[in-house]
Amino acid sequence: MRNALPSFSHFLWTSSIPESSHKNRAMAAGDELKLIGNWASSFVARPRIAFNLKGIQYEFLQEEFGKKSDLLLKSNPVHKKIPVLIHGGKPVCESLVIVEYIDQIWSSSGPSILPTDPYDRAVARFWAAYVDDKLTLQFRPFIREADEAAKAQAIEQMVAALQHLEEAFEKCSKGKSFFAGDSIGFVDIALGSLIGWLRAVEVLAGVKLFDEERIPGLAKWAERFCSSDAAMGIIPEPAELVEFSKALRDAFRSAALPSN
Ligand SMILES: N[C@@H](CCC(=O)N[C@@H](CS)C(=O)NCC(=O)O)C(=O)O
């Protein structure tokens, strides 16, 4: 377990603990580059993977559950959520917006994350939005008090969404390793960031989401994605997230935390 949950009275985030990342890589010239986040968050994994792809060093400020740091509240006063990227003192919020920003600012470093062709770009944005619409909310019943019916419904929706994504993978990858082709791109990051939690749900619910019979392309893609250099060490192990989800559920139960 990377980070024990402190006792807390709100599902908020507390003071930032600097954790430098990627020490061997060059920091973008003269730019302050800070990412406010937490190791367990799929949303936070997205910019971290994008930075790895581009070979950019940044300072990772880990928020802990409990309270939101002043820096977070100041940087994302609208949603008060992680991740937030602070680049040269200016905040950028929303995980996929941050990934696009990283791609544009460091366009000459590493592979392009978004395709250059406008149609391919639109398709990539469509599927990334689909991931957020159909999958991310389905984790809720597993980190909060929820009855078995709510969990079963969430699993059903995840299975249906992954089936659509299997078809999308076939079309987008054109027989290559990733949605974006030979290297990791926008949809790979949007969906790949969720693999840790999807696998944790497999453990918690006793189901197989990455079923090699039902979604063979995605099952193999998930293995490839997690063992890629860009994602290595960023997608948490299911056991870590299972433990984390239990601590979250306890905290929600004991403190009647707000629902988001
Ligand atoms: N749409 C946002 C979602 C971010 C989000 O939900 N972050 C969660 C952590 S996984 C958070 O900050 N939760 C704290 C809260 O809701 O107060 C994104 O893509 O960045």
The string of DSSP letters for 82-136 reads: S-EEEETTEEEESHHHHHHHHHHHTTTSSS-SS-SSHHHHHHHHHHHHHHHHHTG
Give the list of residues 6+ apart from residue 171 with CB closer than 8 angstroms, or none: none
Question: Which residue CA neighbors atom 10 of ligand 1 most closely?
Answer: 41
Look up the pTM and report it: 0.90
User: Which domains are assigned to the chain?
Assistant: 13-112 (3.40.30.10), 118-226 (1.20.1050.10)
Backbone angles phi, psi at 248, to 5 degrees: -65, -45
The confidence score (pLDDT) of residue 249 equals 87
Nearest ligand 1 atom, CA 260? 16
Nearest ligand 1 atom, CA 94? 20
Q: Is residue 61 helix, strand or coil?
A: strand
Question: Which residue CA neighbors atom 2 of ligand 1 most closely?
Answer: 94
For residue 221, the CA-to-ligand 1 centroid distance in Å is 26
CA dist., res. 54 & res. 58, Å (int): 11
Question: Which residue CA neighbors atom 11 of ligand 1 most closely?
Answer: 81
* DSSP 8-state secondary structure symbol assigned to residue 215: S
Those residues of the chain that have pLDDT short of 50 are 1, 3-26, 28-29, 259
Enclosing H/E stretch for 19: strand 13-20
Do the bridges between strand 33-37 and strand 84-87 make them parallel or antiparallel, or are there none, so unpaired? antiparallel
pLDDT tens digits for 83-136?
999 999 999 999 999 999 999 999 999 999 999 999 999 999 999 999 999 999
Nearest ligand 1 atom, CA 98? 20
Listed in sequence order, the DSSP H helices in 10-69 are 42-54
Which residues approach ligand 1 with their CB closer than 6 A?
Answer: 11-12, 41, 43, 80-83, 94-96, 260
CA dist., res. 93 & res. 85, Å (int): 7
Give the list of residues 6+ apart from residue 237 with CB closer than 8 angstroms, or none: 196
Nearest ligand 1 atom, CA 41? 10
The confidence score (pLDDT) of residue 27 equals 53
For residue 140, the CA-to-ligand 1 centroid distance in Å is 12
Cβ neighbours of 80 (radius 10 Å): 15
The confidence score (pLDDT) of residue 17 equals 40
